[in-house]
Amino acid sequence: MGKIIAVANQKGGVGKTTTSINLAASLAAIRHRVLLIDLDPQGNTTMGCGVDKKALSLSAYEVLAGQAAAREAIIPLADIGLDLLPGNSDLTAAQVELMQRKNRERVLAETLASCRSEYQFVIIDCPPSLNILTLNALVAADSVLIPMQCEYYALEGLSDLMDTLRNIRETVNPELRIEGLLRTMHDTRSRLAAEVSEQLVEHFSDQVLRTVIPRNIRLAEAPSHGLPVMKYDKSSKGALAYLALAGEIVRRNQKSQTAA
Ligand SMILES: Nc1ncnc2c1ncn2[C@@H]1O[C@H](COP(=O)(O)OP(=O)(O)O)[C@@H](O)[C@H]1O
Ligand SMILES: [Mg+2]
């Protein structure tokens, strides 16, 4: 059964999309069957995989609106080695339609039930807010991966997110775990980043992933070529970091399975 990981943080620009694309591509590169879902109306994950968000015949919107099965809207991307459920600005309309549905927070979970067994990992890129789309991702998910930048206000935003996750656990998804806090865009020369990073480990101990994603220009360039970084520059620091992250996540999951 595929493990579903939602990549979420209500803050924009923290590296959710970069992490979704590159974690998914790295898991695929180490021979896992992966489905990547773009749940952000901005469609950056879709474009970053080289798929034109304006030319989609079916997308996550039709799936959430009950007009298509997930399987029909999924695009196999042989070059990257994964499957993509693409998204675009139509997802804005999905938010409105979902609000009128019964069990509106479970629609994604129900649609994924039929296809998740085909994958080992399902990675969901969430929009930068705690809206009904993000709620659907957090209800469908087994765990949430939280990318964050080690800057002054990071910890403050994080406690809001932790409250929300607690709330979700107490109501709609008791099984939701925290996959980990991921430090992104890390600048090794910044004292502030080092301090915040230290505080993070103090507060959250082993919920903080060991892998740290450095600030790396290749990671910012790759989407404009429609490629994950490992296909764009596989020896870049960014590519190596996301490969290490994939390895860490696979190992953590093997451990928790043997512990269970
Ligand atoms: N590690 C990194 N190094 C350099 N640039 C990065 C890195 N991670 C993300 N970026 C860039 O920062 C911006 C925001 O990242 P993105 O992944 O789109 O964040 P989010 O999805 O949380 O809004 C993008 O332009 C992206 O290319
Ligand atoms: Mg994004």
Determine the pLDDT at residue 260. Answer: 59
Q: Which residues form ligand 1's pocket by a CB distance below 6 Å?
A: 12-18, 44, 128, 184-185, 213, 215-216, 219-220, 238
Q: For residue 216, report the distance from its CA to the centre of ligand 1, in Å.
A: 10
Residue type present at position 107 = V
- For residue 215, the ligand 1 atom closest to its alpha carbon is 3
For the beta sheet containing 34-38, the strands, ordered from the edge strand earlier in sequence to the opposite edge, are 75-77, 82-85, 34-38, 121-125, 3-7, 143-149, 177-186, 208-214
Q: Which residue has the tokens 């490969």?
A: 243
Average pLDDT over residues 233-245: 98
- For residue 14, the ligand 1 atom closest to its alpha carbon is 22
Interacting residues of 105 by C-beta distance below 8 A, sequence separation 6+: 132, 135, 136, 139, 172
Q: For residue 221, report the distance from its CA to the centre of ligand 1, in Å.
A: 10
Closest alpha carbon to 88 in 109, 121, 62: 62
Widest distance between CA atoms in the chain: 51
Rounded CA-CA distance 56/67 in Å is 14
Q: For a ligand 1 pocket test, name from 7, 18, 42 the mutation site with the most ligand atoms within 8 angstroms of its C-beta.
A: 18
Nearest CA to ligand 1 atom 16: 15
Q: Which residue has the tokens 């070529």?
A: 225
Which residue ranges form the domains of the chain, and what is each CATH number?
3-249 (3.40.50.300)
Residue range 64-122, pLDDT digits in tens: 999 999 999 999 999 999 999 999 999 999 999 998 999 999 999 999 999 999 999 99
Q: For residue 123, report the distance from its CA to the centre of ligand 2, in Å.
A: 13
Residue range 17-49, pLDDT digits in tens: 999 999 999 999 999 999 999 999 999 999 999
Residue range 154-192, pLDDT digits in tens: 888 898 899 999 999 999 999 999 999 999 999 989 999
